[in-house]
């Protein structure tokens, strides 16, 4: 009996293709952000704070699907790197609010520049601008509305 690999099977399911592209993107992010001493997950936390206005570790972990323990450890690493500061939450004495430091904001924009200049072209490959626009539109239609 011959066994085909999943990738050789005719018609790779859409979910698998999306997962493979996401995995490729994560590898590229890891490779290109490593010289900046930041992981893709840490970058996403900083970006979520800056662009989504989230300051609570619980909000950020929920949006990014990071478990609470991992989020706590990540926040501690980002604080140790002086990219974030923790402040008491005046509305919840048990909680904290996260503040992006000037160094954190500068690194975030440096990461964005690297992503735009180095990662995006590799991720897009030889797709034309029109194809990228079309693909983006189709993927947006797959997202739940709300």
> What confidence category does residue 146 fall into, taking pLDDT thresholds of 50, 70 and 90?
low
Cα–Cα distance for residue pair 21/130, rounded to 1 Å = 19
DSSP readout, 79-91?
A: HHTTSEEEEEETT
CA distance 57 to 75: 8
Of all residues in the chain, what percent carry a pLDDT higher than 90?
A: 79
pLDDT surpassing 80 at residue 8: no
Q: Are 135 and 127 in contact, with CB atoms under 8 Å apart?
A: yes
Q: Which tens digits make up the pLDDT trace of 117-126?
A: 999 999 999 9
Q: Please tell me the predicted confidence (pLDDT) of residue 145.
A: 85
Domain ranges of the chain: 37-140
DSSP states of 23-89: HHHHHHHHHHHGGGT--HHHHHHHHHHHHH----HHHHHHHHT--HHHHHHHHHHHHHTTSEEEEEE
Task: Note the pTM of the prediction, 2 decimals.
Answer: 0.85
State the Cα–Cα distance between residues 127 and 135, nearest whole angstrom: 10
Tell me what pLDDT residue 1 has: 47
Q: Give 52's strand partners.
A: none
pLDDT at 44: 97
CATH number given to 37-140: 1.10.10.10
Residue with tokens 């690297």: 114
Q: For residue range 70-79, what is the model confidence (pLDDT) as tens digits? A: 999 999 999 9
């Amino acid at each position: 009996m011959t066994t085909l690999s999943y990738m050789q099977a005719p018609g790779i399911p859409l979910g698998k293709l999306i997962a493979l592209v996401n995995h490729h993107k994560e590898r590229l992010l890891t490779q290109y952000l490593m010289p900046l001493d930041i992981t893709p997950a840490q970058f996403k936390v900083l970006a979520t704070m800056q662009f989504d206005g989230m300051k609570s570790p619980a909000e950020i972990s929920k949006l990014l699907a990071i478990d609470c323990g991992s989020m706590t450890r990540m926040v501690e690493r980002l604080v140790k790197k002086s990219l974030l500061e923790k402040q008491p939450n005046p509305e919840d004495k048990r909680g904290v609010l996260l503040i992006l430091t000037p160094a954190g904001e500068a690194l975030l924009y440096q990461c964005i520049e690297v992503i735009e200049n180095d990662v995006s072209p590799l991720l897009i490959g030889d797709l034309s601008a029109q194809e990228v626009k079309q693909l983006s539109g189709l993927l947006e239609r797959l997202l739940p509305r709300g």
